[in-house]
Amino acid sequence: MTEPLESSEDSFVLPAGWHDRILPRRGNDVRHPIELDPGAPDRERERIESHLPRLRRSLEDPATDPVLAAAAAAHLDGRPDPAGAAAVSSLVRAADHHAATAGQGPRRRSHDETFMAWALEFGTPFAVAAAVEELGCEVIATPGASGSGPRDHHVRSGEGSRATWRLWERPRGPIRLARGLIAYAEDEEYAQIVAGVADRRATPLHRLAAAHLLPDQTDWTAQDCEQIGEAPDVDRTGMPRTLVSDC
């Protein structure tokens, strides 16, 4: 007679097929190979240049968050700014999408290249700070914009969107790359990353992004899990609260 199995309700064995989905963090031994394409910064600059007139109009749109507009203008003018980089990236992605939809440009398959460009050109602390900013950005088509070509948009902070989170969360997407770089960072660089993100946790979505990228900041995740359930903007992203768990 077969002996009954002892209860294992307090333990969980991860299926072998899920192992590749585990994200790296400093508190675990998961490490995925990282390859940064040295050509990414040049291609990102070319992409921005191709939309520059539309970007400038978007930043002048009264509906655009004026703080983001100023940061983005500074970034475009050669004064690197994580919030500005995030706003520019969000607007370029929207322009790319509408151009592709109208058959006037290639469909962009990945957002990894933007994060790679940030990391290579400005460093990992900048790239992670910009990631937190972008995950809290929402891009909206300007009312009245029409026609078959790319539309103008405005951008605002703290609202977020399901599309942005889905893009970053793809199995081979930027979150995986960012978490890998953070896991590999030396202690001094990690301290710089944390410091660069700490002052950007101003809204529920920015706090969610910070906790997801830096889960080893357990005081952040603990605070955020208590507060996020009461934040309607977080529900709009469609992202589960398990993202900020300390597992």
* Domain map (residue ranges) of the chain: 34-142+151-244
What is the pLDDT, as a whole number, of residue 220?
Answer: 87
Q: Tens digits of per-residue pLDDT, 47-84?
A: 999 989 989 999 999 999 999 999 999 999 999 999 99
Distances (CA, A) of 205 to 158, 220, 224: 6, 13, 10
pLDDT surpassing 50 at residue 244: no
Question: What is the band of 139 on the pLDDT scale with cuts at 50, 70, 90?
Answer: confident
Q: Which residues contact 123 (CB under 8 A, 6 or more apart)?
A: none
- Average pLDDT score over the chain: 80
